[in-house]
């Protein structure tokens, strides 16, 4: 396996499954990695056993990876910072570490979501909380289950930024044959894809849980991709981005893979479980739960048609019965397939 010619001090902020997996990948490339854990017991377990037994059990972590619950210790001398807290806590975590982040260190955001209180994408949240320019933020996304990345299985991702120089540094630092890193100049599209796919995965899980069949799941994923693209384009994203790793690639994985927490949430809802009660029983976060509300409100504020997202929001947050939501989707008026995209087409629009 080839490794970057220049080894870096890498700080990974967030020791959940995904943060730990990214830290393990960076350490396997020969970088010196410090992983910051909010929970001191998680950091202690990693230090003493070289394993994150709580969030990523059964995966031996490289010796080049160390863990700490001290922001100052984690970020001292960092030449690359990767942010991986849950989206609901990204702002507060960034405010906590702000004083310790080296000014010259590129910032990579691997968190996927939309902030519920502001409807901002993660790059805007991090930039505001860290006092940095949003244009220099780098977003990492794509079809990448943490457990498979941690095991070193083949994975393709995308990193996106408006700053080409910073993007090149990050791509060179993280790319390997088993973790191929593509670059993109469309951070908005990549972030919208990474956020909305979690909402659509909940819908796909509910579809499977109701045993609606593979035809229905394929249709849901395809129509969901349209929703994702409509919102992304409305926010300034490139429509072609949604044909890539940060769009359809991530959507297919999360909507069909057995390791998807969001798909699992949808299946539990189909079983009749209360979504809030189910999530309260889980240590890990299903990002689509909060993103459903933020995406619904954001789409409504911009006049973007997102019927699947709308029904997921109502089921999760307003108590709408799942079968009622299904009926509302299936009985929508027929229309031209690409109605609602940026070319202004209205042929076939519902009356």
Q: Which of the residues are catalytic?
A: 197
* Dihedral over Cα of 233, 238, 244, 245: its sign: negative
- Scan for tokens 């609602």, then name that residue: 340
Residue 273 and residue 260 in contact, taking contact as beta carbons nearer than 8 Å: no
Residue 230 and residue 340 in contact, taking contact as beta carbons nearer than 8 Å: yes
Q: Is 67 helix (H, G, I), strand (E, B) or coil?
A: strand
Q: Count other Cβ atoms within 10 Å, centred on residue 348.
A: 13
Closest CA to 153 of 259, 270, 38, 303: 259
CA dist 231 and 223 (Å) reads: 13
Integer CA distances (angstroms), 172 to 143, 175, 303, in order: 19, 6, 39
Closest CA to 188 of 243, 131, 229: 229
- For the chain, how far is it from start to end, CA to CA, in angstroms? 58
Which residues, other chains included, contact 129 with Cβ-Cβ below 8 Å and sequence gap of 6+?
90, 91, 92, 94, 95, 98
Rounded to an integer, what is the distance from CA 142 to the centroid of its chain? 8
């Amino acid at each position: 396996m080839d490794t970057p010619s220049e080894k870096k001090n890498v700080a990974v902020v967030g020791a959940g499954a995904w943060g730990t997996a990214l830290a393990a990948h960076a350490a396997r490339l020969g970088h010196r990695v410090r992983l910051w854990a909010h929970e001191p017991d998680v950091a202690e377990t990693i230090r003493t056993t070289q394993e994150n037994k709580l969030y990523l059990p059964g995966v031996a972590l490289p010796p080049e990876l160390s863990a700490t619950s001290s922001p100052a210790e984690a970020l001292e001398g960092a030449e690359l910072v990767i942010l991986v807290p849950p989206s609901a806590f990204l702002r507060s975590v960034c405010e906590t570490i702000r004083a310790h982040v080296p000014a010259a260190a590129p910032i990579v955001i691997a968190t996927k979501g939309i902030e519920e209180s502001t409807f901002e994408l993660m790059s805007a949240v991090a930039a505001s909380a860290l006092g940095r320019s949003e244009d220099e933020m780098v977003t990492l996304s794509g079809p990448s289950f943490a457990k498979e990345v941690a095991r070193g299985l083949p994975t393709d991702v995308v990193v996106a930024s408006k700053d080409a120089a910073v993007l090149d540094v990050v791509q060179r630092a993280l790319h390997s044959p088993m973790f191929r890193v593509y670059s993109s100049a469309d951070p908005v599209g990549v972030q919208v894809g990474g956020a909305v796919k979690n909402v659509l995965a909940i819908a796909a899980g509910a579809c499977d849980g109701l045993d609606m069949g593979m035809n229905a799941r394929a249709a849901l994923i395809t129509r969901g991709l349209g929703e994702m693209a409509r919102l992304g384009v409305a926010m300034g994203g490139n429509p072609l981005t949604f044909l890539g790793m940060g769009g359809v690639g991530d959507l297919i994985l999360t909507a069909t893979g057995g390791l998807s927490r969001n798909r699992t949430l949808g299946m539990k809802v189909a079983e009749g479980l209360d979504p809030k009660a189910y999530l309260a029983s889980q240590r890990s976060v299903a990002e689509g739960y909060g993103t459903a509300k933020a995406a619904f409100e954001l789409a409504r504020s911009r006049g973007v048609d997102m019927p699947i997202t709308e029904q997921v929001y109502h089921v999760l947050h307003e108590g709408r019965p799942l079968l009622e939501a299904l009926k509302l989707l299936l009985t929508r008026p027929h229309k031209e397939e690409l109605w609602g995209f940026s070319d202004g087409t209205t042929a076939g629009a519902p009356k």
